Structure 1
């Protein structure tokens, strides 16, 4: 077994493994899966991912065949986010996911990540169990749209919990900045802001660069702080959300 960074020539194998994995683990229809594969891993997007210093694609080869891969990103100043671990169903039960997880963590740490987070759709029971068995805490959710349907994505973190900090918005309403849930910004992380100290009703984002609230999000999931120009771009979905 060989674990290495992905190359452009791995594109067909990556798309094939992703398709088989999505079919086996998610309640997505064939059209949604095909749309997702084309959007995330077509030749152009794959080339952009491989050229992006903040992104990481690792593949597992067995007998010169790609049978698994992980996709991750440096999503905040010191945080790596694992977006996907895909294993061909024909090779599940062989410990590939655990081995690839460890290798991905090492690569992210080498790039400066001190903390690790993971994202997985709520209906992937095995994926959610994978993180909880490794001591990750569920720190939030996000709604994502795939082929016109809305899905819940769970967010896990092994970073030390810091809780929610109350602040007042422009109308003197108290909202809560979650220091455990953040997204990578072009200058500094954006922390998720909630309307309540305990509930998951999202209010917006907090720019950690200039310490101001940034609520406006466009159709691409892109946020730009009007005060300092810090920008948050979506990690996975584009303007059409497939």
Structure 2
């Protein structure tokens, strides 16, 4: 396996790898994936990234006796405000399980540090449930959320950093994206609360599970988060969330759903 910077001619193959990887592992609709890939990895977009000195593009190439050398993984990083941010890291589903993702991450972060990055952060789509496990296995910690616009879609990225980093994240406004994700709520003594038949439920922002439309958060009957009430759906603001015996969540009002992560299906070469 070789990690190198791609040529502009590799744009089509990069787009194929990104598309197949997202289709396999990210809980977005086909239309959302198509829009995201077209927006971020069209020929013109890749050319612009090649010409931007603050952006790092690297691909993994592998070869064998039965096939020609081919691009099997891709990573994109950016230098900003002293940070090296890993924005995209994908591996062709047919080549997972070979450590390609880990090698791409290590090579990209080393290159970003060589170019002047003082800290490293990784952003992972909220809908990419398996990617969160991968980043955590690298020793990074969830350090906030960021809402971004991609192809006219408003999506949330989880931001991960190395432990004990005390620095402002690149592009940070000082507000967490989750501040915007609580419909039908108000703040009581700094805590996010909502009402259910006259009963106040307290939402635990640090206890989140991913959903197809928006996250689910643990809800409690008291401000000390000891008496569990259930779950709160951040898509519609409902507390009418059910869980089956497989730990699958579903909002009874809007249909937002969550399936518990499967470690058996997880491939540690994917982010």
Q: TM-score, normalised by structure 1?
A: 0.67
Q: 1:217-237 CA distances to partner (integer Å, 9 max, x unpaired)? A: xxxxxxxxxxxxxxxxxxxxx
- Residues 140 and 181, structure 1, Cα contact 8 Å, conserved in 2: no
Alpha-carbon offset, residue 146 of structure 1: 4.9
User: Which secondary structure state, in structure 2, belongs to the residue aligned with residue 22 of structure 1?
Assistant: helix
Question: Which residue does 1:142 correspond to in 2?
Answer: 146
Query: Aligned match of 1:181 in 166, 169, 174?
Result: 169
Query: Aligned match of 1:131 in 119, 129, 135?
Result: 135
Higher relative contact order (CA 8 A, sep 6+): 2
Alpha-carbon offset, residue 48 of structure 1: 0.8
Over alpha carbons, which structure has the higher Rg? 2
Structure 1 unaligned residues grouped into runs of 5+: 163-178, 184-190, 203-242
Alpha-carbon offset, residue 145 of structure 1: 4.5
Work out the CA distance in 1 between the residues paired with 2:169 and 2:112. Answer: 18
Query: Aligned match of 1:108 in 107, 112, 130?
Result: 112
Counterparts of 1:1-242 in structure 2, within 5 Å, are 1-63=1-63, 64-76=69-81, 78-146=82-150, 149-158=153-162, 160-162=164-166, 179-183=167-171, 191-194=172-175, 200-201=178-179
Work out the CA distance in 2 between the residues paired with 1:67 and 1:100. Answer: 11
Cα pair distance change 1:111/1:147, threshold 3 Å = closer
Alpha-carbon offset, residue 36 of structure 1: 1.6
Q: TM-score, normalised by structure 2?
A: 0.60
> What number of residue pairs does the alignment pair up?
175
Structure 2 unaligned residues grouped into runs of 5+: 64-68, 181-271
Question: Which residue does 2:247 correspond to in 1?
Answer: none
